[in-house]
Amino acid sequence: AAVMVPLSQLPFAWSFACFAFIQLSLLSISVWSLGRDYSVLHQRKGWLWAIVGSPLVLESLIGGQSSLLALACIVGFLHFLRRDNYVIAGSLLAMTLYKPNVAALLVVAALIVHPRLLRGFLPTMAIGLGIALLTAGTSGVLKYVQLATQLASSQWSLETPFWKVHGLAPSFQSVWPEHGKLACVGVGLLISLLVAWQWRARRLAELLAVALLLCCNALFNPYVPIYDLVLLELALVLVCQAAYSGQFKLQSIVYFQGAALLLFVGPHLSQALARPLGWNPFPMLLVGVLFAAVAYEWNASATETEVGVFQRTP
């Protein structure tokens, strides 16, 4: 609301141009930070251009969506978390709640693992609530809370057609019409708590934990539009970095190329197939990729040869 209310006073062309400039700035900051923070990208600049030109990023830019703000916030959160700057990291984590469902499971898990994030999280939440009250008023905030509650607990009642929803919520609803979305969120929360437990106990590397939580949020979020899947591109970068640094046993570059291809063509192709199929296949594809990766990690034994394969591949 702090951005949209002023822009709504401008002519459409000017407001769209201003918002596009904001989006491009956020994308530039994210890509610059990724290239600087993750050594796997130092010699692979083409991967950064692939992120910039990906259909999911273009979908967000052309459609005037705000998903790139979430991407920038999470990239920044990881940047400052690595440097033990919990105030700024917590503030950036709180900023993802401009759209609560976009990264809610990551937020919950991160606060459990790093309670010191609350130093920045709580003040930013208070400031955000104040801005929302000033720009949207009490009634606007209450209506938003009502919509969010309905989104997470009641039957699907929004105008968005099922084939545009890329999470598992419609599948849960087909089995349990009354409380399917609530059950979906509950399963996602349970998995996120398990990931947080492993992350906090240092049995799961931080990069892999965050990547898994981003995937979990994409699957069990009650409302997953196509443009919010841009966060999965960050998840793939984190897994690549984990493999590059030897934290992930799966070293075959073919796996990562296949996952990148899935993110490039999967969401839009799934939308096209969902109409005749009656269900969106993308979440099932994502679940399959995750199960394959976990199965390999569970059974494989890392060797020096395996660790070097990914590093030598340009």
pLDDT at 143: 79
pLDDT tens-place string over residues 163-197: 778 889 888 888 888 788 889 999 999 999 999 99
C-alpha span between 116 and 218 (Å, rounded): 26
pLDDT tens-place string over residues 145-163: 777 666 655 555 555 677 7
pLDDT tens-place string over residues 97-124: 988 888 999 999 999 999 999 999 999 9
pLDDT tens-place string over residues 238-284: 998 988 888 877 767 778 888 888 899 999 999 889 888 888 899 99
297 is written with which tokens? 């990690």
pLDDT tens-place string over residues 269-281: 998 898 888 888 9
154 contact partners, CB below 8 Å, separation of at least 6? 181
271 is written with which tokens? 């939308």
pLDDT tens-place string over residues 73-89: 999 999 999 999 999 99
145 contact partners, CB below 8 Å, separation of at least 6? none
Domain boundary assignment for the chain: 4-312
